[in-house]
Structure 1
């Protein structure tokens, strides 16, 4: 039971990729505004993990769901979007570091030539 007296079913608890990746938009969409704390620079990195961990509980408490199945169906859409965004983000980070690594290796090996046109 939470502080509002709402019982959170055990099958609702768990990680929510939508709350983790889309914390601010997810919070507004689920009428729970604690994810807006992700707007605080520095604190947001820690708070996004709290959102992922506590998101389902917050959404259940603030939502008007008739049963757990309906809740899970709604959150499944957020979870799919969140996991896809996470994978895309990891792929971009990996490509970024590979690109930067390739440039640095090129510079250090002397393969990167600076062309200077003199007139």
Structure 2
């Protein structure tokens, strides 16, 4: 029986227990998409570093409780999509940061040459 979207009365199917990478990487954005408003606690300084791990650990449970899903397969497919985009955006962020560092080093080296 599908008990999704019934809050605390929902029964979490064993198939969906486990870590949620979408909740971990996309935290508050994932929270909006899954009606898990407690995800906004990640905006509290110092709590946010811990909270992403809480979201990763509890994400599947909270998403199942707070949103009505057509089936377990629908839930798993949707959460897989969240996870995929979370990982993609994480690596895009790392790549952009690396490009920023390289540009800063190149510009810094250029001005060092000009001053000599």
Q: TM-score, normalised by structure 1?
A: 0.73
Relative to 1, partners in 2 of residues 1:99 and 1:53: Cα closer, same or farther, differing over 3 Å? farther
Q: Give 1:99 deviation, angstroms.
A: 4.8
Q: Which has the larger radius of gyration?
A: 1
2:84 to 71, 80, 84: 80
Query: Where does residue 28 of structure 2 map in the other structure?
Result: 24
Query: Where does residue 113 of structure 1 map in the other structure?
Result: 114
Distance 2:83 2:56 in 1: 10
Q: Which runs of 5+ in 2 are unaligned?
A: 1-6
Q: How large is the RMSD of aligned CA atoms in angstroms? A: 2.7
Is the 2:22–2:30 contact (alpha carbons within 8 Å) kept by the matching residues of 1?
yes
Is 1:11 the counterpart of 2:12 in the alignment?
no
Higher normalized contact order (CA 8 Å, seq sep 6+, divided by chain length): 2
Query: Where does residue 54 of structure 1 map in the other structure?
Result: 58
Q: Which runs of 5+ in 1 are unaligned?
A: none
Deviations 1:32-73 (A, max 9, x none): 111100111222122112212221111011121232101112
Is 1:91 the counterpart of 2:92 in the alignment?
no
Distance 2:58 2:114 in 1: 52
Deviations 1:70-110 (A, max 9, x none): 11122122111111011112223334445556667x49xxx
Large movers: runs of 4+ above 6 Å: none
